[in-house]
């Protein structure tokens, strides 16, 4: 690997500068992405066409100079492969014509979906990307955490409260656990095949972690995050539980090489929880990229100065917002690259 800063950071090895990449860097903000996208019938066509998924995965490496590529895909390929198909509606988001809110509806899922067959397009995209990356930077694979996938399978669409999904935790906790178990088992298989196809690291996105109270997130969220993370012990693995500020002490106990932090999570407090046993990823406010250049430089340097350890990967605290100017991202990346680590 010519640039292995991202991997070294996961293991706490000595690095001359911090690695930097952006969640949602593949897609959204790049005109080169939109040029690919507008030739297609829809978002799912892009996700399911390996050559195109590989192409847009590589764009931010070439154009923005990030230290890692992340596969262009979607967390909802998992429920899709399990038998619950979704549509991606422009300007509105995902929509599942059928949802799972009863034992009866659980039969909508296929009994033993073959991950290799169902998600072959993902593994093909990984192989193509790895080939074209030619070891320039590592490739990150990912999946949604079971609680977040559960939210979509029960609610059927995005929501501010996901009250249908949370309702099930009270009305039928047994069914909730059964569904979460099935998502977990399939996700482990899925991430395993990503690993075998060549990804250099994995990240688990628990986007809706923050809507559960502490005890429910422990029971219905972290239990399954723990099971997945344990299956990849020793491999570069990031847990990102957005919004779960109150659960950081429990997240700190789950074995993984890295923890993703949103912009509400305090870096020093998390460092105190994990010591030097974990790498912390994040946590700039995505809105910083709307500021003028000098503010981006100043705030990024402020973040870098706040690090008291080598074990950091610079990123936003959430996916980059769609209307951000790519030139602003370049300012952020240059600032990180210009900054020399003092803790060697």
CB 213, min distance to a copy of itself, A = 4
CB 235, min distance to a copy of itself, A = 31
Residues 182-221 that bind a copy of itself (CB under 8 A): 210, 212-214, 216
C-alpha angle 165/287/12, rounded to 5°?
80
* Interaction between residue 293 and a copy of itself (CB under 8 A): no
Closest CA to 225 of 149, 337, 301, 134: 149
Please confirm, yes or no, whether 24 is among the known catalytic residues. Answer: yes
Closest CA to 208 of 136, 151, 132: 151
Please confirm, yes or no, whether 92 is among the known catalytic residues. Answer: no
Q: Which stretch binds a copy of itself (CB under 8 A): 65-73, 119-127, 140-148, 164-172?
A: 164-172
Among 51, 102, 135, 161, contact with a copy of itself (rule: CB under 8 A): 161
Q: How far is CA 303 from CA 97, 271, 311, in A?
A: 43, 14, 13
Among 291, 297, 330, 334, contact with a copy of itself (rule: CB under 8 A): 291
Distance CA 33, CA 55 (A): 9
* Interaction between residue 75 and a copy of itself (CB under 8 A): no
Please confirm, yes or no, whether 28 is among the known catalytic residues. Answer: yes
CB 211, min distance to a copy of itself, A = 8
* Interaction between residue 286 and a copy of itself (CB under 8 A): yes
Please confirm, yes or no, whether 74 is among the known catalytic residues. Answer: yes
Q: Which stretch binds a copy of itself (CB under 8 A): 41-49, 163-171, 232-240, 332-340?
A: 163-171
Q: Residue 316, SS3?
A: strand
**Strand order across the beta sheet in which 279-284 lies:** 69-70, 139-144, 201-206, 237-241, 258-260, 279-284, 312-316
Residues 131-160 that bind a copy of itself (CB under 8 A): 158, 160
C-alpha angle 106/188/1, rounded to 5°?
150
CB 24, min distance to a copy of itself, A = 12
* Interaction between residue 252 and a copy of itself (CB under 8 A): no
Backbone CA torsion sign across 79, 80, 85, 90: positive
Looking at the Cβ atoms of 142 and 162, the one nearer to a copy of itself is 162
Distance CA 314, CA 17 (A): 10
Could you tell me which residues are beta bridge partners of residue 144? 205
* Class of residue 210 by CB neighbours under 10 A (exposed 0-12, middle 13-18, buried 19+): middle
Closest CA to 117 of 71, 143, 81, 142: 81
Closest CA to 2 of 138, 165, 159: 138
Catalytic option among 18, 28, 166, 206: 28
* Interaction between residue 121 and a copy of itself (CB under 8 A): no
Looking at the Cβ atoms of 171 and 230, the one nearer to a copy of itself is 171
Residues that bind a copy of itself (CB under 8 A): 158, 160-161, 163, 166-167, 169-171, 210, 212-214, 216, 243, 245-246, 263-266, 285-288, 290-292, 295, 317-318, 321, 323
Which residues are marked as active site?
Answer: 24, 28, 37, 74, 152
């Amino acid at each position: 690997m010519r640039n292995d800063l991202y991997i070294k950071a996961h293991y706490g090895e000595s690095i001359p500068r911090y690695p930097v990449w952006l969640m949602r860097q593949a897609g959204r903000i790049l005109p080169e992405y939109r040029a690919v996208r507008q030739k297609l019938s829809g978002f799912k066509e892009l996700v399911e066409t390996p050559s195109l998924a590989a192409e847009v995965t590589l764009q931010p490496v070439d154009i923005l100079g990030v230290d890692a590529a992340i596969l262009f895909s979607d967390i909802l390929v998992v429920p899709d492969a399990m038998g619950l198909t979704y549509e991606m509606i422009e300007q509105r988001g995902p929509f599942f014509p059928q949802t799972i809110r009863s034992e009866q509806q659980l039969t909508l899922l296929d009994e033993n979906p073959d991950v290799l067959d169902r998600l072959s397009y993902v593994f093909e995209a990984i192989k193509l990307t790895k080939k074209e990356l030619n070891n320039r930077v590592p490739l990150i694979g990912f999946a949604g955490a079971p609680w977040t996938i559960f939210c979509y399978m029960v609610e059927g669409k995005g929501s501010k409260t996901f009250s249908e999904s949370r309702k099930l935790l009270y009305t039928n906790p047994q069914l909730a656990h059964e569904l979460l178990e099935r998502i977990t088992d399939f996700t482990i298989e899925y991430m395993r095949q990503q690993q075998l196809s060549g990804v250099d690291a994995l990240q688990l996105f628990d986007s809706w972690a923050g809507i559960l109270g502490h005890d429910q997130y422990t029971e219905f969220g972290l239990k399954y995050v723990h099971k997945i993370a344990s299956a990849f012990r020793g491999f570069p693995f990031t847990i990102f539980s957005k919004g779960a500020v109150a659960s950081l002490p429990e997240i700190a106990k789950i074995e993984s090489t890295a923890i993703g932090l949103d912009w509400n999570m305090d870096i020093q407090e998390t460092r105190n929880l994990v010591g030097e046993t974990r790498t912390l990823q994040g946590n700039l406010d995505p809105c910083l990229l709307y500021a003028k250049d000098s503010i981006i430089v100043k705030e990024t340097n402020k973040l870098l100065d706040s690090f008291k350890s080598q074990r950091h990967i610079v990123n936003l605290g959430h996916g980059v917002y769609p209307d951000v100017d790519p030139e602003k991202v370049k300012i952020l990346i240059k600032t990180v690259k210009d900054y020399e680590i003092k803790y060697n």
